[in-house]
Amino acid sequence: MGGPEGPVRSCATLFLCGDVMTGRGVDQILPHPSNSQLFEPYVSSARTYVELAEKAHGRIARPVSYAYIWGDAIDEIACQQPDARIINLKSAVTASADACQNKGIHY
């Protein structure tokens, strides 16, 4: 039996991804980076993390595409053609410059 969209399927393919942490430097190489200021004890600029990555692995061209951060995984995800993608974004999305004084690291 089917509905207006066609036959009903008995299963679905899900892409489940946990703890994606795109802060602390990743946004600095994207087309529209946010303010690089960090509120943590060791590093005050997210650009420092980019510099450390480049020191270890070589120059990173800027800006990178939004697909860049997924690396080789993006091709595998596309190959599997999931019906839904569920991702736990570990970083807050905010434009606030306020930092919680009781927290050691702010993403």
- Using one digit for the tens of pLDDT, what is the confidence trace for 82-100? 999 998 877 666 667 777 7
Provide the H-helix boundaries in 31-87: 47-57, 73-80
> Where is pLDDT greater, at 79 or 107?
79
For residue 90, the model assigns a pLDDT of: 74
Whole-structure pTM value:
0.68
pLDDT of 3 = 67
DSSP-derived secondary structure letter, 81: -
Supply 52's token pair. Answer: 């450390």
| Amino acid at position 49, single letter | Y
* Mean pLDDT, all residues of the chain: 85
Q: How far is CA 95 from CA 31, 34, 36, 79, 92, in A?
A: 16, 8, 12, 35, 10
pLDDT recorded at residue 20: 78
Which residue shows structure tokens 């993006």?
74
Contact 4, 74 (CB under 8 A): no
Task: Provide the 10 A C-beta neighbour count for residue 5.
Answer: 6
pLDDT of residue 12: 93
pLDDT of residue 18: 83
